[in-house]
Amino acid sequence: MVQAIGVTQPGGPDALGEFDLVAEPIGPGQVRIGVSSATVNPADAMIRSRPRQDEAGAVRVPGMEVAGVIIELGPAVERPFTIGDAVMAIVVPSGAHGGYRADLVLPACSVAKIPAGLSDVQAATIPMNGLTARLALDTLALPAGATVAVTGAAGTVGGYVVQLAKQAGLVVVADAAQRDETFVRECGADEVLPRGDDFAAMVRRHHPGGVDGLLDAAVLEAAVLPAVRDGGTVVTVRGYQGDGTGRVRVAPIFVRDYAEAAAELDRLAELAGEGRLTVRARRPHTGTSAKVTELLAPRRRSPPLFSRDQPCRRPWTGMTTSSRPGPSTFAGRTVMKEGPPWPDDDAMMQIAIEQARTGFGQGGIPVGAVLATPTALLGAGHNERVQRGDPTAHGEMACLRDAGSRSSYAGTTLYTTLSPCPMCSGAIILFQIPRVVIAERVTYAGDVGFLRGHGVDVEVRADERCIALMSEFQRRSPQLWSDDIGGR
């Protein structure tokens, strides 16, 4: 039997459990890996929380990236592997087949040797994110000298795209918050523009004719289309297919299409080994991924990159990279990643959105919030006016309650799916929370000027997912919305 971490029912991180599964059979062209490190990615949360109807009650194992050691070779393996090779691999999860297993069978073409000098933890961060970046650039198919824009450039995929694009001779225009600008420039960006919902307009100011192509790693979707010239290409990572006008080509990509791109994976490993591709990792932590960490730790070739007392520069949840934790079981959870000295906005906002969806699924008002520092996700919550019968239980307030009493909020960022109401804005100012990231203020404007007037650094997005969710709630429950803040 093989130990694994998975779910049988939809839910948050607490739905994950330990299972003893039958070992996967090995076939021609396949290898068996003793897994020592695995990553936690957004797709894992989708597997965990949104099961297919035909999988009800079945064990589903998430995980799309692993590292470890080859312990068995199937027949007709044409890759240059031997028993005992340290390797990294991309996984396409299906049912009980996923990266959160101690023993995993994969096509040899999904596996590459770990270059000298990289730990298992570092290497496990490369396959899925690196291949996504490679697929994005191959889909854009821009010639040397062309101009490409990158949203989410401070994130893992975005950062890899910037680096690979520069190596391909492209001119790179990237977005970044002010605190991330140095990091993004170090990745190789030629131009760094302020991050925000007016990124496309700023691109046009610098490039009146529009850029030749764009990777939307920040999932801004329709908001970035104007940045690209007529006939240009926008690559999306969450399935967005465009606005239907056909002015630009919108190309959704799915990394599973490169799951057996052996040459591309080998090249990524080579670049990482040469130091030409920044590898970002952090130590395991308590919380969701602790279960998987405990499972895999005995197999790890080398210790995690960070010790408990070492500082980190860019937090990210999970064992090694790119994760999205779930509901309010995150209090005090330490999350680490190399990079700029702030929480990863996309990762934290994704948690807030999951919170909003959870509240909506309970018949409540779909507003979610997260409080984080560079080294910890402090709290998460969603509006519970309906669930608790408490008119003050707004999403931001629930998040602050989940974080517990604190003597100082210095260095924290509050993420919320909706522009804060006066009550929540007052709490932000009262506790001197220095920074707020708002997913949208289309369905409720709030008073951003009030926050900024009190010295709060406010970033406003135009997240179509949040707009659609709140719009649907307002349509279904106009009286409840009015009773809460809509009629105030």
Is residue 78 flagged as an active site residue? no
The one-letter code for the residue type at 72 is E
In angstroms, how far is CA 399 from the centroid of its own chain? 20
- Tokens describing residue 437: 């990231």
Catalytic residue, candidates 65, 396, 440, 459: 396
Please choose, from the candidates 23, 31, 39, the residue with its C-alpha nearest in 3D space to the C-alpha of residue 110: 31
Q: For residue 234, give the nearest of 140, 130, 133 by alpha carbon.
A: 140
Beta strands in 202-322 (DSSP E): 211-216, 228-236, 249-252
User: What is the enclosing helix (H) or strand (E) of 472?
Assistant: helix 464-476
* Exposed / middle / buried, residue 479 (Cβ in 10 Å: 0-12, 13-18, 19+): exposed
156, 133 Cβ separation under 8 angstroms = no
Burial (Cβ within 10 Å: 0-12, 13-18, ≥19) of residue 81: middle
Structural contact between residues 370 and 399, judged by C-beta atoms closer than 8 angstroms: yes
Q: How far apart are CA 69 and CA 302, in angstroms?
A: 12
345-361 and 42-49 helices, crossing angle to 10°: 10
Phi-psi region of 332 (alpha: psi -120 to 50; beta: other; left: phi over 0): left
Give the single-character DSSP code of 433: -
Q: From 237, 230, 231, select the one nearest 253 (Cα to Cα).
A: 237
Q: Which residue in this structure is represented by tokens 């707020």?
A: 436
**Phi-psi map region of 278: left, alpha, beta (phi>0 left; psi -120 to 50 alpha):** beta
Q: Characterize 18-42 residue by residue with b for buried, 16 or more Cβ atoms within 10 angstroms of its Cβ, and e for exposed.
A: ebebeebebeebbbbbbbbbbbbbb
Nearest to 112 by CA among 140, 81, 143: 81
C-beta of residue 176 within 8 angstroms of C-beta of residue 153: yes
Q: Tokens 């000027």 — which residue?
A: 449
Write out the catalytic residue numbers.
396
